[in-house]
C-alpha cells in the first residue's frame, strides 16, 4: 500500500496546531489566574489596611478621650499627653488618682510634671523630647499609709478584683473563673489577717487597705450581683446599664454584694475598719433606697399590697417576687386585731434584710 505523504503531513500539522492552541489557552488561563491571585492579594491588603486604620482610629479616639478627662481633672495638657503615651492602663490609673485627689481636696496636678533636658549631655536617644516625671511617693501618701507588711497583698487583691470586673458573669465560664479568683483573694485576705494578729492589732486603729483596693473589691462584688438581674456596672463613672424598671433589683444587688463581702472577710478572719465602714455605707444606702421605692409603690396603688393574715412563714418567700410590698396585721396581747399593719418590702436576701420594714399604720 502506498504511503500518502501529504495526508500524513496534514495530520501532523493539525496536531501541531492543536498543541499550539492548547499552549495559548494555557497561557491565557495562567495569566488570568495570576491576575485573579493578584487581585485577591490586593483586596486582602486593602481590607487589612482599612481594618488597621479603623483600629488606629479607635485607639486614637480612646487616647483623646482619656487625655480630655485628665485635663478636665486639672492635669496640664502636656503632662496628660505624657501619661497617655504609657497606654490606656497608665491613663486610667492617673484618672483614678486625680479623681481621688479631687474628692480629698488635693491638687494632684503637681504629681505629674514634664522634665526637659537642658544640656546637650543630658539628651539621649530616649530623652530628646519632654519626659514625664511622676511623684509616686506623693500619690501613695494621698491614699494613706499602709502596713508595709501587706503592701504586696494589697496590690495583688486590687489586681485580682480588676480581673473579676472584666469577666462576663452571665456565662457559666465567667462565673467559674470569678469563683476561682475569689479563692485566691480569700487566701490573701487570710494572710493579711495573720499578719494583723501577729502584730496584735484589731484592725480598727490602722488601715490594711487603700481606697482603691476597697473600691475595687466592692465594685467587683456589686458587678457580680448586678449580673444576676442582667445589669452591668461601668466602673469608671459608676453608671449602671440595663437599669430601666429595676429600681428595687439594683438596690437588692447592693445588699447581696454586702453579704458576699462580709462572708469573704469573715472567712479570712480579717477586720479592716475602712472596708467595714464602706460595706455598712453601701448597705445603709441600699436599704434607704428600697424603703423609698416601697413607700412609693404604696402611694401609687395600695391595692397591690399583699396581706398575710397569719403572719410570715418560711413558705411565704415562695409566693413573692423581689420588690413585693406586703402587710401583716398587728394583734394585741389577747390575740385580737388592732386595725393596724406592719408594711414591708421583700428583697429575697434570706438574712436580716429579707423583709425591709416600711412603716406601721392603718
pLDDT at 4 over 60: no
Do residues 167 and 240 share a domain? yes
pTM for the full predicted model: 0.53
Q: What is the C-alpha to C-alpha distance for residues 325 and 304, in angstroms, rounded to an integer?
A: 8
Of 140, 170, 192, the domain-final residue: 140
Do residues 248 and 222 share a domain? yes
Do residues 282 and 339 share a domain? no
Hey, is 306 helix, strand or coil? strand
**Average pLDDT in the 306-326 region?**
87
Do residues 214 and 262 share a domain? yes
Give the domain extent around 57.
41-118+129-140
319 inside domain: yes
Q: What is the C-alpha to C-alpha distance for residues 302 and 283, in angstroms, rounded to an integer?
A: 27
Do residues 158 and 286 share a domain? yes
345 inside domain: yes
Do residues 182 and 230 share a domain? yes
Of 276, 295, 314, the domain-final residue: 295
* 109: Cβ contacts below 8 Å, ≥ 6 apart: 74, 75, 76, 79, 98
Do residues 167 and 276 share a domain? yes
- Of all residues in the chain, the percent with pLDDT exceeding 70 is 73
123 inside domain: no
Average pLDDT over the chain, rounded to whole? Answer: 78
Do residues 166 and 68 share a domain? no
202 inside domain: yes
pLDDT band at 203 (very low <50, low <70, confident <90, very high): very low
320 inside domain: yes
Do residues 163 and 191 share a domain? yes
Indicate the DSSP class of residue 122. Answer: G
Do residues 134 and 257 share a domain? no
Q: Which of 83-92, 183-192, 247-256, 309-318 has the highest mean pLDDT?
A: 247-256
248 inside domain: yes
Which one has a higher pLDDT value, 234 or 150?
A: 234
pLDDT of residue 170: 81
Q: How many helices (H) and strands (E) does the chain have?
A: 9, 8
Hey, is 330 helix, strand or coil? strand
pLDDT band at 305 (very low <50, low <70, confident <90, very high): very high
Which one has a higher pLDDT value, 249 or 149?
A: 249
Of 250, 266, 295, the domain-final residue: 295
Retrieve residue 172's grid coordinates: 457559666
5 inside domain: no
Q: What is the C-alpha to C-alpha distance for residues 219 and 240, in angstroms, rounded to an integer?
A: 11
| Residue range 208-258, pLDDT digits in tens | 777 778 888 888 889 889 888 888 887 666 778 877 778 899 999 999 999
Do residues 321 and 206 share a domain? no
Contact 347, 255 (CB under 8 A): yes
Q: What is the C-alpha to C-alpha distance for residues 191 and 172, in angstroms, rounded to an integer?
A: 29
14 inside domain: no
**Average pLDDT in the 90-98 region?**
83
Which one has a higher pLDDT value, 92 or 48?
A: 92
pLDDT of residue 291: 92
| Residue range 258-299, pLDDT digits in tens | 999 988 888 777 777 788 888 999 999 999 999 999 999 999
CB-side exposure of 215: number of CA atoms within 13 Å? 14
pLDDT of residue 289: 92
pLDDT at 343 over 90: yes
Looking at the structure of the chain, the number of domains it has is 3
* 85: Cβ contacts below 8 Å, ≥ 6 apart: 132
Please identify which residue in the block is written with the cell numbers 489577717. 193
Do residues 171 and 237 share a domain? yes
Amino acid at each position: 500500500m502506498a504511503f500518502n505523504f501529504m495526508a500524513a503531513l496534514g495530520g501532523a500539522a493539525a496536531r501541531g496546531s492543536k498543541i499550539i492552541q492548547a499552549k495559548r489557552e494555557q497561557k491565557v488561563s495562567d495569566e488570568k489566574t495570576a491576575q485573579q491571585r493578584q487581585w485577591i492579594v490586593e483586596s486582602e491588603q486593602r481590607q487589612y489596611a482599612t481594618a488597621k486604620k479603623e483600629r488606629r482610629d479607635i485607639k486614637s479616639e480612646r487616647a483623646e478621650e482619656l487625655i480630655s478627662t485628665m485635663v478636665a481633672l486639672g492635669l496640664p495638657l502636656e503632662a496628660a499627653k505624657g501619661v497617655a503615651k504609657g497606654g490606656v492602663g497608665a491613663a486610667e490609673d492617673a484618672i483614678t488618682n486625680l479623681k481621688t485627689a479631687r474628692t480629698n481636696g488635693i491638687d494632684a496636678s503637681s504629681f505629674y510634671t514634664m522634665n526637659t533636658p537642658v544640656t546637650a549631655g543630658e539628651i539621649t536617644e530616649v530623652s530628646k523630647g519632654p519626659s514625664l516625671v511622676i511623684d509616686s511617693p506623693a500619690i501613695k501618701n494621698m491614699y494613706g499609709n499602709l502596713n508595709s507588711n501587706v503592701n504586696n497583698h494589697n496590690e495583688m487583691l486590687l489586681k485580682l478584683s480588676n480581673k473579676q470586673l472584666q469577666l462576663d458573669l452571665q456565662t457559666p465560664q465567667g462565673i467559674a473563673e470569678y469563683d476561682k479568683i475569689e479563692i485566691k483573694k480569700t487566701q490573701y485576705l487570710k494572710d493579711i489577717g495573720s499578719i494583723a494578729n501577729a502584730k496584735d492589732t484589731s484592725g480598727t486603729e490602722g488601715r490594711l487597705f487603700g481606697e482603691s483596693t476597697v473600691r475595687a473589691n466592692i465594685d467587683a462584688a456589686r458587678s457580680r450581683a448586678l449580673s444576676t438581674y442582667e445589669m452591668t456596672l461601668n466602673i469608671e463613672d459608676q453608671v449602671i446599664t440595663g437599669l430601666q424598671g429595676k429600681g428595687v433589683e439594683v438596690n437588692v444587688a447592693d445588699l447581696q454584694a454586702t453579704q458576699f463581702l462580709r462572708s469573704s472577710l469573715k472567712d479570712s478572719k480579717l477586720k479592716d475598719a475602712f472596708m467595714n465602714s464602706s460595706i455598712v455605707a453601701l448597705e445603709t444606702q441600699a436599704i434607704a433606697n428600697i424603703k423609698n421605692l416601697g413607700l412609693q409603690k404604696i402611694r401609687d396603688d395600695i391595692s397591690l399590697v399583699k396581706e398575710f393574715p397569719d403572719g410570715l412563714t418560711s413558705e411565704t418567700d415562695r409566693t413573692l417576687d423581689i420588690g413585693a410590698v406586703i402587710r401583716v396585721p398587728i394583734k394585741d396581747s389577747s390575740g385580737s386585731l388592732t386595725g393596724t399593719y406592719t408594711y414591708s418590702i421583700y428583697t429575697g436576701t434570706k438574712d436580716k434584710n429579707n423583709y425591709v420594714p416600711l412603716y406601721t399604720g392603718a
